Amino acid sequence: MQTTTDPFINQLRLMQHIEELAQIGRIADTGVCRLALTPEDMEGVKQVKAWMEGAGLSTRIDAFGNLIGRLEGRHSDLPILMIGSHIDSQPYGGRYDGAIGVLGALEAVQSLIEQGIQPLMPIEVIAFCDEEGSRFNKGLFGSRGITNQLEEGELERQDKSGVTRREALEACGCSPADFDISVYSPGSIGHYLELHIEQGPVLEAMNAPVGLVTGISGPLWLTVTMKGMAGHAGSVPMVMRHDALAGSAKVIAAFDDMVREEPEAPTVGTVGSLRVFPDSRNIIPEEVSFTLDLRDMDMKRRNRLQGQLMTLLDEISSRYGLTYTVTEDTNSEPRYCAASIMSVIRSAADEIDLPLPELMSGPFHDALALSYVCDYGMIFVRSKDGISHHPSEFSSPEDIALGTEVLYRTIRSMCISGMSSNRYPD
């Protein structure tokens, strides 16, 4: 006989799904490369779609490339309970980032169906398109798409091969002309839940398999382009050079020093991509573009660092005889999880006597985009050594199962009570 503390989810089925998905775009034995809207990504989408349909969900792929599986509620006009994450990856990524959020959501909803529970409101399990932003250098595409947060020019962004996002969408059978149809109307999404690996070392340091997320740091993504003058590497005197790479190197090193000024602060800064033109050992670099990623929970501190960066760019450009431009790719303030959902998640963990430490999320997730249209909550699963975006990324089957069990019990509670909706008493 099943007790209240026994698991409802099927750990074996969940892990089989995770391992099977990891074989699509597999690299380096344990890693994956499923860049958004590539054949590997779409193969993964088709596989997850088949699992959704096998579980009893109706499915569709919208104009943004999002895969959506729907379980009807007793009251179809109630705002949706949306659950999900993403299955696209970094070019040298791990098999758990995003994937456990989609497959854990599917497992939780399939367990609801098997328990004979029909939710009060519709539930949608969603695999968002291009959360990572690694191909077109701007993420959360699918989640920003359905919430009407896309910006001008996004369809013309190019990958490293010159393919635009528009072309990639169309190659996958998605029509940007239908974007308006795929945008959710205001108020139609009631709540959003996301299960994700932590991608950091905090839970492991606390010896905790699962954690409760309290909010997401505000990311600022910039692309800096510095321009100088090319010349022969052997004949132009050092004092007469306008070396864009030397100037960029000074900026990058100084930026790293800036974000380390307060060791106890949660501020992080990264330069993750750099391009050099003409990219020859015998030519002084004429143009360099590099990305800057600055994140903090304290907007005052983040704004101060951004101001210091702009002053630094002025000084270095003047010293090396360069010009520069800065493009803002992403800019969001910190977003906090809803207290009401956090309370339900705590209660779900209490049911299985699972301590649930609280922590902030440095990485952003699709929940960041959803936070602008509905209340959201997140559950983190412990990451071994805090490693992510790397083939050695690992979360144990036991930890993933515990996180999914908490997700299941949270969903069950929300879909029976209706949370904040009093329109339809149970």
pLDDT the model gives residue 426? 38
Residue 3 in any domain: the answer is: no
75 & 194 share domain: yes
Q: In one letter, which amino acid is 19? A: E
Cβ-contact 375, 191 below 8 angstroms: yes
Residue holding tokens 């005197």?
Answer: 237
- What pLDDT shows up at residue 6? 84
Mutual angle of helices 11-22 and 397-417, in 10-degree steps: 110
Q: Is residue 362 part of a domain?
A: yes
Question: What pLDDT, on the 0 to 100 scale, is given for residue 5?
Answer: 76
The total number of structural domains in the chain stands at 2
Q: Is pLDDT above 50 for 422? A: no
Percent of the chain with pLDDT over 90: 91
Residue 205 and residue 263 share a domain: no
Annotated binding site for Zn(2+), which residues? 86, 97, 132, 196, 389
For the chain, the distance separating the N- and C-terminal CA atoms, rounded to the nearest angstrom, is: 27
Q: For residue 270, list its beta bridge partners.
A: 293
Q: Please tell me the predicted confidence (pLDDT) of residue 204.
A: 97
How far apart CA 415 and CA 418 sit, in angstroms, is 5
Is 1 contained in some domain? no
Q: How many CB atoms lie within 10 A of CB 230?
A: 17
Contact 163, 152 (CB under 8 A): no
- Name the percent of the chain lying above pLDDT 70: 97
pLDDT digit string (tens) for 385-415? 999 999 999 999 999 999 999 999 999 999 9
Instruction: Report the SS3 class of residue 203.
Output: helix
Q: Which of 297, 331, 365 is the last residue of a domain?
A: 331
| Rounded Cα gap, residues 241 and 119, in angstroms | 68
Asked if the structure places residue 52 within a domain, the reply is yes
- Residue at 423 is within a domain: no
Give a three-class secondary structure readout of 142-169.
HHHHHCCCCCCCHHHCECCCCCEHHHHH
User: Is 142 contained in some domain?
Assistant: yes
Same domain, 27 and 176: yes
Q: How far is CA 154 from CA 86, 131, 161, 337, in A?
A: 19, 14, 16, 28
Same domain as 208, residue 338: yes
Which CATH number covers residue 323? Answer: 3.30.70.360
Query: pLDDT by residue (tens digit) across 168-227?
Result: 999 999 999 999 999 999 999 999 999 999 999 999 999 999 999 999 988 899 999 999
Same domain, yes or no: 168 and 75:
yes
- Measured distance CA(293)–CA(138) in Å, rounded: 12
Residues 103 and 137 both lie in one domain: yes
- Residue range 60-84, pLDDT digits in tens: 999 999 999 999 999 999 999 999 9
Residue 300: give the domain boundaries: 218-331
Least confident of 19-23, 246-250, 332-336: 332-336
Q: Helices marked H in 260-330 — which ranges?
A: 299-320
In 3D, which of 333, 337, 256, 268 has the Cα closest to residue 300? 333
Does position 338 have pLDDT exceeding 50, yes or no?
yes
CA distances (Å), origin 117, targets 72, 351, 408, 414, 420: 11, 18, 12, 12, 20
Going by the annotation, the residues of the binding site are 86, 97, 132, 196, 389
Do 355 and 212 lie in a common domain? yes
What confidence tier does 419 reach under pLDDT thresholds 50, 70, 90?
low
Rounded Cα gap, residues 33 and 23, in angstroms: 10
Q: What is the pLDDT of residues 122-140, one digit of tens each?
A: 999 999 999 999 999 899 9
Do 198 and 66 fall within a single domain?
yes
Tokens describing residue 410: 């949270």
Inside any domain, residue 37: yes
Q: pLDDT averaged over the chain? A: 95
Paired sense of beta strands 80-86 and 189-197, if any: parallel
Specify the higher pLDDT residue, 265 or 357: 357
- Rg (the chain; Cα; Å): 23
**Which of 244, 253, 250 is CA-nearest to residue 278?**
244
Task: Specify whether 308 is located in the same domain as 344.
Answer: no
Residue 194, classed as helix, strand or coil, is strand
Q: Are residues 349 and 299 in the same domain?
A: no
Write down the pLDDT at residue 219: 86
Phi-psi region of 73 (alpha: psi -120 to 50; beta: other; left: phi over 0): beta
State how far the Cα of 95 lies from the Cα of 280, in Å rounded to an integer.
36
Between CA 141 and CA 176 the distance in angstroms is 12
H or E element in which residue 70 lies = strand 67-71
Query: Can you give the pTM of this predicted structure?
Result: 0.84
HSE-CB for 117 with a 13 A CA cutoff: 22
The CATH number that applies at residue 86 is 3.40.630.10
Does one domain contain both 259 and 222?
A: yes
Domain boundary residue, one of 297, 314, 331: 331
Q: Are residues 260 and 349 in the same domain?
A: no
Of 331, 363, 386, which residue sits at a domain end?
331
Q: Would the pLDDT of 278 be above 80? A: yes
